[in-house]
């Protein structure tokens, strides 16, 4: 029997339920969870702010574990067979169909309508399909990657879902050698973006956010300048970024806040003909007013929404973590680890920004 934390409905305390070991379809893998993540999306799930979630659910979309059981032979993307005992992670978003217009014509797999997500779009009645659980059932076809030996499970979960998300954002950002990059937000996505921007050739990183503890973490991961949004208003923040960039604004700005008002500010702190990647608006938090003459047209600005991530971002993020993980204090992002029975506390800590990152250790 495996224990799992079940979010029965929005705004309710979670329950711990027992699950029997699942029947294994051919090609399935059973993972015993080492760590899973509590991220901002889980807070949104708990507030009922995502549409179409089939409560009750077992949350937890990014997780790492060791393989307890494999039904038949399963290979990874390099063609290597997976084995019991391997420490692996998996792409939470799966069932991308490969047959629809978005998969085939637009080649925009993150907009495939068939995608399903561990920890979000599966009901707890369908089985162990979320990471806040002692075990996770990986359906046939779920894409699994062995952790590189340089990457401990702890470092991996510290990088968390922010790593592939920020990898995708940096792909969209097309940073060039010598660019100045402003990052709005210093939560897990913002911090990963600040790290990856440096690794992509930027020579100046400016992080805007709050609270102070997160800004310290931003400095610790290499931000050249941090701007405390609790101490300065929007106009001052824009002026400060311009001052730091020769009066022009950042070559690239990456939004990772979730706050609509960040958008007009982000446009203004980006230089003319710069690139502005919007990756933090994961739920509908309302509208923002922009001035299309000054902020888009005259500025010759390029604004790029960035939704989700696909296998390539997941794979590339891990390569980066294996190569450069030592240089950045990833583990420091984990403020605290929580057992399954402390899960309500973990959610509250994330919601109140008392932690940079909360990790579940079932």
Q: Which of residues 41-80 bind a copy of itself (CB under 8 A)?
A: 77-79
Q: Tell me how far apart the alpha carbons of residues 28 and 40 are, in angstroms, rounded to a whole number.
A: 29
Angle at alpha carbon of residue 312, lines to 77 and 330, rounded to 5°? 105
- In terms of DSSP bridges, do strands 29-38 and 93-94 run parallel, antiparallel, or are they unpaired? unpaired
For 72, half-sphere exposure in the C-beta direction (CA atoms, 13 angstrom radius) is 9
Count of beta carbons in the 10 Å neighbourhood of residue 304: 16
Find the binder of a copy of itself among 185, 317, 349, 355 (CB under 8 A).
Answer: 317
User: Distance of alpha carbon 133 from its chain centroid, rounded?
Assistant: 20
Find the helix packing angle between 311-324 and 162-173, rounded to 10°: 100
Among 210, 296, 348, 353, binds a copy of itself (CB under 8 A): 296
Among 71, 82, 100, 210, binds a copy of itself (CB under 8 A): 100
Q: How far is 327 from 188, CA to CA, in rounded Å?
A: 17
Q: Which window, 127-135, 172-180, 183-191, 341-349, contacts a copy of itself (CB under 8 A)?
A: 172-180
Please tell me the distance from the alpha carbon of residue 124 to that of residue 136, in angstroms, as a whole number.
12
Q: Is 110 in the site for a copy of itself (CB under 8 A)?
A: yes
With CB under 8 A as the contact rule, the residue among 3, 17, 94, 111 that binds a copy of itself is 111
Q: Which residues pair with 138 in a beta bridge?
A: 29
Of 8, 9, 106, 231, the residue at the interface with a copy of itself (CB under 8 A) is 106
Which region among 114-122, 124-132, 288-296, 334-342 touches a copy of itself (by CB under 8 A)? Answer: 288-296
Q: How far is the CB of 221 from a copy of itself (least distance, A)?
A: 15
Q: Which of 17, 116, 240, 324 binds a copy of itself (CB under 8 A)?
A: 324
The conformational region for residue 254 under phi > 0 = left, psi -120 to 50 = alpha, else beta, is beta
Select the residue interacting with a copy of itself from 239, 322, 348, 353 (CB under 8 A): 322
CA distance 312 to 167: 9
Of 21 and 77, CB closest to a copy of itself:
77
Please, which of residues 213-242 interact with a copy of itself by CB under 8 A? none
Q: Does 330 bind a copy of itself (CB under 8 A)?
A: no
Q: In whole angstroms, how large is the CA radius of gyration of the chain? A: 20
207 near a copy of itself, judged by CB under 8 A: no
CB of 284 to a copy of itself, least distance (A): 4
Q: How many residues bind a copy of itself (CB under 8 A)?
A: 78
Applying the rule CB under 8 A, the residues between 2 and 21 that interact with a copy of itself are none
């Amino acid at each position: 029997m495996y224990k799992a934390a079940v979010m029965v409905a929005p705004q309710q305390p979670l329950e711990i339920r027992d699950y029997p070991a699942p029947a294994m379809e051919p090609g399935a893998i059973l993972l015993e969870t080492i760590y899973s993540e509590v991220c901002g999306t889980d807070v949104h799930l708990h507030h009922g702010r995502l549409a179409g979630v089939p409560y009750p659910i077992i949350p937890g979309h990014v997780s790492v574990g060791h393989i307890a059981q494999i039904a038949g032979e399963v290979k990874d993307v390099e063609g290597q067979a997976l084995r019991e005992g391997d420490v692996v992670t998996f792409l939470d978003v799966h069932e991308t169909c490969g047959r629809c217009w978005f998969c085939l014509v637009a080649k925009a797999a993150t907009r495939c309508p068939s995608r399903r997500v561990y920890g979000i779009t599966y009901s707890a009645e369908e089985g162990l399909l979320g990471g806040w659980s002692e075990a996770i059932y990986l359906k046939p076809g779920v894409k699994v990657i062995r952790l590189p030996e340089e990457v401990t499970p702890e470092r991996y979960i510290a990088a968390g879902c922010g790593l592939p998300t920020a990898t995708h954002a940096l792909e969209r950002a097309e940073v060039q050698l010598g660019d100045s990059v402003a990052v709005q937000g210093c939560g897990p996505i913002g911090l990963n973006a600040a790290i990856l921007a440096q690794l992509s050739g930027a020579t100046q990183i400016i992080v805007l956010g709050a609270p102070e503890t997160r800004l310290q973490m931003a400095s610790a991961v290499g931000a050249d300048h941090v701007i405390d949004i609790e101490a300065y208003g929007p106009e001052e923040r824009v002026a400060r970024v311009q001052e730091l960039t020769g009066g022009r604004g950042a070559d690239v700005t990456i939004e990772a806040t979730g706050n609509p008002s960040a958008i007009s500010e982000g446009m203004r702190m980006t230089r003319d003909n710069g690139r502005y990647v919007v990756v933090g608006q994961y739920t509908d938090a309302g509208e923002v007013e922009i001035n299309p003459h000054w902020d888009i047209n005259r500025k010759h600005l390029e604004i790029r929404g960035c939704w989700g991530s696909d296998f390539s971002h997941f794979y590339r993020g891990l390569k980066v973590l294996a190569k450069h993980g030592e240089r950045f204090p990833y583990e420091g992002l984990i403020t605290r680890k929580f057992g399954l029975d402390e899960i309500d506390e973990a959610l509250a800590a994330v919601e109140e920004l008392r932690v940079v990152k909360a990790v579940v250790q079932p």
